[in-house]
Chain A
Amino acid sequence: MNFNFKHEWIETNVGLLLVLTMVAISIGGLVEIAPLFLIKNTVETVKDAKGLETIRPYTALESRGRDIYVREGCYTCHSQMIRPLKDEAVRYGHYSLAAESQYDHPFQWGSKRTGPDLARVGKKYSNEWQVQHLIAPRSMVPESVMPNYPWLLSTPLDTSDLVDRLRAQRAVGVPYSLTEIEYQNNVKRFGEAVAQQLHIPNAQQNLVKQAEEGNFDGDRSNITELDALIAYLQVLGTMVDFSQYDSDHFVTFR
């Protein structure tokens, strides 16, 4: 180095070393992360004919199902990210949109597929199949290496901290409503039926109602963790009706 640079300046000054290390690391972070918040078309706009957003946060029951999905570590073997690649489009369907995981904290994109991608598994199989497959995967898919999850069917769903969990999601920006103003705002964004589901004061009764009407685990006697998990799985990737869009519609967002 011509300008007489010496390692010693930095190496013998802990304060300077600390500051410069942080500068070096934060450049990477800023370049990779900051633009995602600034570039407008990162998250696609997906609205139906009435101008309502079709991608909504999870209902109380689905949200608890998602907690169980995370707790059981499903993401270690299943991704939720269909990449824009031919093989994946043929097998799994339309590539995942950024908008589809905008309310996921943390997102469940995953980085490894021991099992198949689950981004569009919703409504693909019946509830019974999901029940049987989660309890004993090899009874449905002989070559499967997925573990059995029999306790999900016998464990009642704990909803004691439901409100706190939804409030935590709200705190990081998921539009669950606590006040009348927030509720009205959701009515404008998602329509009344969805806004009802997102209202935290109604969370407990909404959860019970959805579990009873859906009867996801085939056992009406109580609400189990399996009810919640299957409610979650059955909604994955179903919020956008891709038949409403031309196959190239979402190219324009890139």
Chain B
Amino acid sequence: MSKDKMQSQAVQTTGHAWDGDLQEYNNPLPRWWVWTFYLTILFAILYWIWFPAWPVAKGYTPGVGKITYVDAKGVAQTTHWNTRADLMREMNGLAAIQKPFFDKVAAQPYAAIAKDPELNNFIASAGNQLFADNCATCHQAGGQGKIGFFPNLADDDWLYGGQFDKIQETVTQGRRGYMPPFGEALSTAQIDQLANYVLSLSGEKMDAAKAETGKALFHSETAGCFYCHGDDARGRQVIGAPNLTDKIWLWANVPNADAPSIKLAAVKNVIQNGLNKGVMPAWGQRLTPEQIKVLTVYVHELGGGK
């Protein structure tokens, strides 16, 4: 308290008084603060001179700072400093690092890329990055997919074909899955028989009599399953009809079902209601041809590419 009093005696007041005796001290700011303040003003002035800053009529002062980048045609351009040009310059740097690899990928056929260890290293990292940014949201981080929604890319089963050119086509153009509903065309009993047959195809122990009737139905004009899934029920990749004879399931969650009745119900649901999903977006506009090529090899290598 006494120390405060001593200090206060050295400080002048602003000179006016309110309510008779209420006065205000006039403390000057510390020197370091004042000088920092002046420096920030100086900084602002230099900033205005260097960078685009002040609006003038219908334009603005572009500043004296310049930036040089290489444009899309490979010509060096110099312009006043701006963030868009700065991004171009940064992307030039990125392109300079990646371009030799992308050029090699673009120039070589898939068979040669797969054999080139250096390019494989590049694809393992660049492809992983592209996959994580664009594909993993649906197909999951390891490409394992999601039963009921998105196919597993890490197994050796392919809906539309696991060859390089087919994968590239899938990525570029996208896909659309469709199976018509059979709820109106077939009776409940017939759907039950078909489901028994379909499950028996992948080694499930089902009602043999029903499965036998289901088999006849599968190959009949009444249900017409064979048109898409094929006479051998191994599917047709041209139209994305899946192989029904393996243990890999996409729509009906058979592997995770506890009881045979649940498996049966899941398959019956698909036959009854059909499917109008399985939409894969087209990436042809979003990604460059080289990026798609890298992704194609990456997906091919994820699991049993053909």
Contacts and interface: CB of A to CB of B under 8 A. Distances in A.
Contact of A254 (B84, B129, B279, B285): B84
A39 B14 contact: no
B59 interface: yes
A171 interface: no
Interface residues on A, range: 35 or more
Given A8-B16, A39-B60, A246-B72, A126 B279 contact: yes
A95 B87 contact: yes
A218 B57 CA distance: 53
Contact of B72 (A7, A90, A140, A248): A248
Interface stretch (B35-43, B130-138, B189-197, B199-207): B130-138
Contact of A95 (B69, B84, B276): B84
Interface stretch (A57-65, A70-78, A81-89): A81-89
B286 interface: yes
Interface string A1-29: 00000111000000000000000000000
B2 interface: no
Interface string B262-303: 000000000000001101111001100000000000000000
A123 interface: yes
Given A95-B87, A139-B146, 8 more contacts: A6-B14, A6-B15, A93-B286, A126-B138, A126-B277, A248-B69, A248-B77, A248-B88
B82 interface: yes
B30 interface: no
A132 interface: yes
Interface stretch (A30-38, A100-108, A150-158): A30-38
A6 B14 CA distance: 8
B125 interface: no
B83 interface: yes
Nearest to B52: A254
Given A7-B14, A251-B85, A125 B277 contact: no
Contacts of A6: 14-16
A250 B85 CA distance: 9
A161 interface: no
B279 A127 contact: yes
B58 interface: yes
B149 interface: yes
Given A34-B55, A38-B57, A39-B59, A129 B285 contact: no
Nearest to A245: B72
A243 interface: yes
A113 B281 CA distance: 25
A253 B136 CA distance: 35
B55 A84 contact: no
B86 interface: yes
| A contact face: mostly helix, strand, loop, or mixed | helix
B94 interface: yes
Contacts of B150: 129
Interface of A: 6-8, 31, 34-35, 38-40, 83-86, 89-91, 93, 95, 123-129, 132, 139-141, 218, 241, 243, 246-251, 253-254
Given A125-B137, A125-B138, A251 B73 contact: no
Given A125-B138, A248-B71, A39 B58 contact: yes
Interface in B63-97: 69, 71-73, 77, 79, 82-88, 90-91, 94
B277 A84 contact: no
B37 to A, nearest CB: 16
Give the interface centre of A246, A247, A249, A250 by most chain B CB atoms within 10 Å.
A247
Contacts of A123: 281-282, 286
A129 B138 contact: yes
A243 B134 CA distance: 18
Contacts of A83: 83
A90 B281 contact: no
A83 B90 CA distance: 13
A243 B288 CA distance: 9
Closest 7 CB pairs of A and B: A35-B55, A246-B72, A126-B279, A84-B87, A254-B82, A248-B71, A86-B90
